[in-house]
């Protein structure tokens, strides 16, 4: 099972992009108890907490397979920006942006399960996309797959991103265990 779904035999990956800020359709929520704060210094333990809490149900693995030093190095790069969503002072999710030349990747994005279904995903994604455009990017892109939250693809599309490529492959073993 992935979330509440049967575990698929095929991995379907969707590649999405936005090439102009005029394509951006923000979806913010008005709540007084919500704030988004940039991680100003790398904290591997807190990052792993977020990564595991956000991605555990979706079988995210890649950041768990590297050493603490490798992870510290990865999240310490100047082109990496990590923003944490707090609701009532509690960490609820995060978005990680990776600037690569004139493009910015939404490298990781998601909410802890207890905070899903409240409109916070569209809020956090909107914030991340806005930050990418403020950094002067010429393109914002992301990939998602059928192992992510079922609403992920729709959320990206509602924010103005469009699918430019889809790939299918047999489910890699690292996701089946």
Q: Can you read off the two tokens belonging to residue 163?
A: 């699918």
pTM of the model: 0.91
Residue 78: pLDDT band (50, 70, 90) is very high
The pLDDT, as a whole number, for residue 61 is 82
Rounded Cα distance between 71 and 76, Å, is 8
> What digits encode the pLDDT tens for the residues 120-157?
999 999 999 999 999 999 999 999 998 888 889 999 99
> What digits encode the pLDDT tens for the residues 5-47?
567 889 899 999 999 999 999 999 999 999 999 999 989 999 9
The pLDDT, as a whole number, for residue 60 is 83
Residue 89 — left, alpha, or beta (φ > 0 → left; ψ -120 to 50 → alpha)? left
Q: 65, 117, 66, 112: which is closest to 85 by C-alpha?
A: 112
CATH number of 10-175: 3.40.630.30
The pLDDT, as a whole number, for residue 177 is 65
Rounded Cα distance between 26 and 60, Å, is 26
What are the phi and psi torsion angles at 92 (to 5°)?
-110, -15
Percent of the chain whose pLDDT exceeds 70: 95
β-partners of residue 96 are 82, 108
Domain boundaries, the chain: 10-175
> What digits encode the pLDDT tens for the residues 159-169?
999 999 999 99
């Amino acid at each position: 099972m992935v979330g509440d779904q049967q575990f698929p035999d095929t991995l379907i990956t969707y590649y999405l992009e936005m090439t102009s800020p005029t394509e951006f359709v923000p979806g913010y929520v008005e709540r007084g108890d919500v704030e988004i704060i940039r991680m100003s210094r790398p904290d591997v333990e807190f990052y792993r907490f977020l990564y595991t809490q956000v991605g555990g149900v979706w079988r995210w693995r890649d950041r768990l397979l590297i050493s603490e030093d490798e992870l510290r190095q990865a999240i310490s790069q100047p082109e990496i920006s990590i923003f944490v969503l707090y609701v009532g002072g509690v960490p609820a999710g995060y978005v990680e942006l990776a600037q690569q030349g004139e493009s910015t990747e939404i490298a990781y994005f998601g909410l802890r399960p207890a905070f899903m279904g409240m409109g916070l995903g569209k809020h956090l994604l909107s914030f991340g996309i806005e930050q990418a455009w403020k950094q002067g990017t010429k393109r914002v892109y992301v990939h998602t797959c059928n192992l992510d939250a079922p609403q992920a693809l729709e959320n990206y599309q509602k924010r103005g991103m469009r699918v430019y490529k889809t790939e299918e492959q047999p489910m890699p073993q690292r996701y089946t265990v």
